[in-house]
Structure formats: structure tokens, C-alpha cells
Chains A and B, each alone.
Chain A
Amino acid sequence: MLIDFRQLDSGATLDAELCIIGAGAAGIAIAREFAGSGVRVLLVESGGLEFEKKTQDLYNGPSTGFKTKPMDESRLRYFGGTTNHWTGRCGVLDEMDFETRAWLPLSGWPIRKADLVPFYRRAAKVCELDEYGFDETTWQRFEKTTPDFERTKIRPFFWQYSPPTLFGGVYRAQLVGAKNLRILLHANVTEIVSNEDGSAVTHLELRTMDGKRGRATAKQFVLACGGIENPRLLLASDRFQRGGLGNRHDLVGRFLSDHPAALSGLLVSKTPPLVATNPVRNGVTYLPGYRLGDETQKRKEVLSACAYFTDDAGYSDLFLKRDWPGKLPDHAIRSFIVCFVEQPLDRASRVFLSGKRDAIGQRRAGLDWKNGEREKRAIKTLMLLLGAEFARLGIGRVKLAKWLIWDESYWGMEGGDHFMCTTRMSDDPKTGVVDKHCRLFGVSNLHVAGSSVFSATGYINPTLTIVALALRLADRLKSKFG
């Protein structure tokens, strides 16, 4: 059932057994798991069914750190969330991403990859992918083998492209048709209110853009608003908990991480290289990727990084006109190389409550995103190895982008699409905000879903992991309702 909060009487209270805040990928994935069950679910969404400028403006906010995309450009605030404009690129974290690495403080997750694989398989169906498979053996589906890279240096893998699944459009009918499920639109959660000692959530304060107020009550709550809004709302819920709900150790909003991405070089070859081919199977496009081998990461104590190939015309202008005018052969086949890199966790990199207020009086989120030399070093390490391996195997020759060559602090990396780790999962409340079951430390009935719970970033696009973790949380919540 769809309910527009603007049509309800002021002061209305809506009650459920499970209340999910946010109808993006995570919120919708969880809600679907309960559709048709005996559990009364309330799915609360700030926006409507379509884009609305006034609601979208709530996402605006200052950025004081490293340059990133404007916050109201990368995210969308209506039913379906940011899946309304995502690229669809899906991949899985590596095993090493879940492990503690001696050269990387706070690395590792409190769960293993094996714990998540069953949920990745389910998430792949939710995102309408082909048969589960992301490692180099997937090349066998296309009756091809990859070039004989030295695997300690370069490991091939795959992304798969979702159509992309616009969660709001694809799953709306199922959710609207579920008798146990109500979708509440145009309802901004302005505060998560707890009891006085902060040990449990009692209700949510709701507000429309024109000031109408209401409440939502439930036995269990899930905060699923994304990597920036999740911490913002917790920080703003400070009626009884100074510094915000679940923030006893001043970690909510900290460790703000992204996947710095950069045009890093060009592969020039005389024949079309297999490494830059995007095969298709069952209507799904696969994108080959190449990452740093585990042994190389350990040996050189570098972050994990990956590369893929594109013939995007925009990159052509950037590389050929900006970096190397008149310096490239006209006759050769060119494939631009774009790199993604993980980030080390930095406490100083954070989401904070700014002094600016939005149209409904809420303190806007501010970003102070940090980036550094380690990310550049990892990308350069990867590029030099790719260059050596491609040359050794006769695939082609690599020319670096200039920002990797200059020693000055010239950063070719950009971010702004994958905000993570801001309510980090950990076994220890002194290093995280949620436990391994995504429950907020110290709060018995509040769980968190989305990229904010990531313990570490890896280099891979986050959506499939977001959905996998959401499905895992849904199973956990089902057990609470018997």
C-alpha cells in the first residue's frame, strides 16, 4: 500500500513491527524479503515516486576536504534512491578485503567473504545479473582464456552490468501489492528518538516539506539511507545522547571513504586486445577488470587497486589533448585505462553536521573527505605492472597519464559516488558503530543497512555488497520475528 504522508492528519502515528527508513537499494531489498509475510512493515521514504527538486535539495551540503562531486548530484532522494541513476556495475569484494592486513590499520571485517557469498548469489538475482561469477574462470563462459599474466602481480576478474535495475520501478508493484507492507512517501525522518539511556529506539519523528509532523513506531528499526545520510541522521538524533545516537566513541560519520577513480593511462596495440573486450551473455554485459595480485599487495604493502578499459570519448579528449597533445600514433588501437583504488581508513575523513540548515530546519551533512599518497602509489604500482605484463605478453604498450608521473601533489583522482564506512561494522565498539549483525552498538532495536556499514572499502563498486548485506540483515531480522 502506498501512503502519501502529506495526505495524513498532522500528528498521525503509524505503527509497524518493522520500520525501514529509506527506500533505496538496501531498504527495498529488505522490504521485499518481508513482502507477503506475517510481519507488518512500514517503509519510510523522504521523497515521492518521482524526482522532486525541493526534496532533492535536502541532500545538498558543504564539502571541506578533497574535491568530490556535489552531494545532491551523486545521490537521489526518491523511491528507489540512487538506483534511479546508477550505472549497474556489479562486483564482489575479494577475500583479502575481509582480512586484516598488517600494513593497513583497521583493515578487515568481522565476517569472512564465505559468510557473504550465499547472499551475493541472492543479490545477483535481485540486481538481475547473469549466473553468479566474477573471477577469471568466468572467461570460460565465453570459451576464452585470459592472457598468461603472472598471477602474483595481476589478477583478472569481472564486473557484470545490471540492466541497470531501477529498484523503485522494478519492485514497486510487488511492494505495493503486499498486504503486510505500507510505503510511506514524502515523510522525512528528522529524528530517531530513543529512551533516555539510549538503549532502544522508541519512535521516529516525521515531517513533510511543508511542516506537517507525525511519528512512526515499531519493534525493530532499520536505517537504510546511505553512506552520508545514515550518519547524518544518527548525529542529529541527539535528544538524549550527546553527540548523537550510537556515538559514545565518536565514530559515527568517521572513516568516510570512497573509491578514488582516475584516468590512469592508455593501452596502445596493433590488434584489438582481448583484455579490452566486453563480452555479453544472456543479455548481460561483462566488463573485464585487472587488479593487483594479493602477493604483490603484501610484498609492496600497497592498497588494493583495479583497472578496466574504455573507449569513452571524454577520456580521449582528456588524455590526448590535455596530457599528450600530438604524441600518440594515429593508426594504433587505443584503450583508455581507468583505475579504482581502495582507501585506508582515516578517522579525520568524515561526515559531520554542518552549520547550514535545510528547508525543514535539519542540519545539513558536511563532508571532509581525505585522500592521499597511498592511493596514488597503489594506482601507480598497478599501472607499472600492467605496463610490464602487457608488454611482456605482446598485448600492447602502456602510456601513463601525466598525473601519475609528476611528483608534485597533483591528484588526477576523483570521488563522489561510493561513500562508505561511516557507521562501520566491527567486533569492538571502540572501532565501529555497528556489530557484525549490523546492529547499532548499545541500541537493541536499531540496525543499519547500506554502504555506511562497510568495515573496509575494497576497490569494487558497492551496490552488490550493499544488497547482499541487506539480505543477510533481513534473514537476521526474520529470526527476531519468529
Chain B
Amino acid sequence: MTVCLTPNLSALAARAAISHREDTEILKRDLSRFLADIFDPHGIGGEFLAAHRGKIDAARLLAALDETPAPAPAGGRVLRWRRRRRREFEREHVVVVDGWILARAEAEACALLRVL
């Protein structure tokens, strides 16, 4: 059961469809590293997607997760995502998905992992 609050992703410009050169497996690996302390990220991702009722796809999720089309910093996108997560916890920008208290970045990442 998904409860509560998700960010309004419609305001974010969707990035172009994931490049054919994008290695989905690398993306999954990075997401798994980012979500290492999340219990059941697939289940959480499913709840997040159910709350959006099919209105969201992998491209939009990745755009939302990255927040910016700028290239990833040294250390890669996982570092960027972790920085974003830390900022969100500091600023109390949390969401509740399936009862779990998450940074918004984590909720989006779980959903993306589920979609891939």
C-alpha cells in the first residue's frame, strides 16, 4: 500500500529517452549501490509507480533523480544522488512510501529500479 506524498514530477522537464548507449545494467548497479540500505527497493518502487498510475516512465524518473542534465561529478552519479539524499534529509524533504521514510531521491530511484 502506498501512502502519502510524492514529489510533483511534472514540473521537471523530461530528458530525452534513455540513450541506446546507456547501459541499463550499469544504471541498475548504480541504483542498487545508492539504495544499499533500503529494504525491499523493488517493492517500494512498485508502490511508488502504483501511486502514479502509469504516468511515469524510466526517462522521466531518471531526469527527476538526476535533477539536472549536467554531467555527473567525479565519482559519478551515485555520488550526486547521495549528495541530493543528504540535502533532502537535512531539509526534511522526505516522502513516505509503503510506510518507509525516504528521501525523495530514494523513492524515485526505487521506482526507476523497478521499471528497468
- Which A residues lie at the B interface, using CB under 8 A? 150, 153, 265, 268, 270, 323-324, 327-329, 332, 383-385, 387-389, 391-392, 394, 396-402, 405-406
**Is the beta-carbon distance between A392 and B86 smaller than 8 angstroms?**
yes
Nearest to A394 among chain B residues (CB) is B37
**Is the beta-carbon distance between B39 and A397 smaller than 8 angstroms?**
yes
Task: Name the 7 nearest CB pairs between A and B, nearest first.
Answer: A387-B101, A392-B89, A405-B3, A399-B99, A388-B89, A329-B39, A398-B101
**Is the beta-carbon distance between A329 and B40 smaller than 8 angstroms?**
yes
**Is the beta-carbon distance between A391 and B39 smaller than 8 angstroms?**
no
Task: Give the docked Cα–Cα distance between A394 and B86 (Å).
Answer: 11
B98: Cβ under 8 A from any A Cβ: yes
CB-defined contacts of A385 to chain B, threshold 8 Å: 92
**Is the beta-carbon distance between B40 and A391 smaller than 8 angstroms?**
no
Partner of A384, one of B3, B39, B86, B92: B92
- Per the CB 8 Å criterion, the residue count for chain B at the interface is 19
Task: Give the docked Cα–Cα distance between A402 and B39 (Å).
Answer: 18
CB-defined contacts of A387 to chain B, threshold 8 Å: 94, 101
**Is the beta-carbon distance between B101 and A384 smaller than 8 angstroms?**
yes
CB-defined contacts of B3 to chain A, threshold 8 Å: 405-406
Task: Give the docked Cα–Cα distance between A329 and B40 (Å).
Answer: 8
Task: Give the docked Cα–Cα distance between A400 and B102 (Å).
Answer: 11
**Is the beta-carbon distance between A398 and B90 smaller than 8 angstroms?**
no
Within 8 A of A (CB), among B27-84: 37-40, 43
Task: Give the docked Cα–Cα distance between A93 and B3 (Å).
Answer: 35
Task: Give the docked Cα–Cα distance between A289 and B94 (Å).
Answer: 23
Chain B nearest Cβ from A482, distance in angstroms: 58
Q: A268-B39, A384-B96, A406-B3 are in contact. List 10 more A-B contacts (CB 8 A).
A: A327-B98, A332-B39, A385-B92, A387-B94, A392-B89, A397-B37, A397-B39, A398-B101, A402-B99, A405-B4
Given A388-B92, A392-B90, does the pair A383, B101 have CB atoms closer than 8 Å?
Answer: yes
Tally A-B pairs: CB < 8 A: 61
CB-defined contacts of A268 to chain B, threshold 8 Å: 39
Chain A nearest Cβ from B19, distance in angstroms: 32
CB-defined contacts of A328 to chain B, threshold 8 Å: 39
CB-defined contacts of A396 to chain B, threshold 8 Å: 37
Chain B nearest Cβ from A412, distance in angstroms: 13
Given A268-B39, A328-B39, A405-B3, does the pair A384, B94 have CB atoms closer than 8 Å?
Answer: yes
Task: Give the docked Cα–Cα distance between A387 and B102 (Å).
Answer: 8
Nearest to A380 among chain B residues (CB) is B96
CB-defined contacts of A402 to chain B, threshold 8 Å: 99
Nearest to A331 among chain B residues (CB) is B39
**Is the beta-carbon distance between A391 and B99 smaller than 8 angstroms?**
no
CB-defined contacts of B90 to chain A, threshold 8 Å: 150, 392
**Is the beta-carbon distance between B37 and A327 smaller than 8 angstroms?**
no
B110: Cβ under 8 A from any A Cβ: no
CB-defined contacts of B103 to chain A, threshold 8 Å: 388, 391
Given A268-B39, A329-B39, A397-B38, does the pair A389, B99 have CB atoms closer than 8 Å?
Answer: no
CB-defined contacts of B4 to chain A, threshold 8 Å: 405
Among B37, B96, B99, B100, the one with the most A-chain Cβ atoms within 10 Å of its Cβ is B99
Task: Give the docked Cα–Cα distance between A392 and B82 (Å).
Answer: 10
**Is the beta-carbon distance between B101 and A391 smaller than 8 angstroms?**
yes
Chain A nearest Cβ from B2, distance in angstroms: 10
Task: Give the docked Cα–Cα distance between A391 and B101 (Å).
Answer: 9
Nearest to A268 among chain B residues (CB) is B39
- 8 A-B interface contacts by CB (under 8 A): A265-B99, A268-B39, A324-B99, A327-B98, A385-B92, A387-B94, A391-B103, A394-B37
Nearest to B88 among chain A residues (CB) is A388
**Is the beta-carbon distance between B100 and A397 smaller than 8 angstroms?**
yes
CB-defined contacts of A150 to chain B, threshold 8 Å: 90
Partner of A389, one of B39, B43, B89: B89
Given A150-B90, A392-B89, does the pair A405, B37 have CB atoms closer than 8 Å?
Answer: no
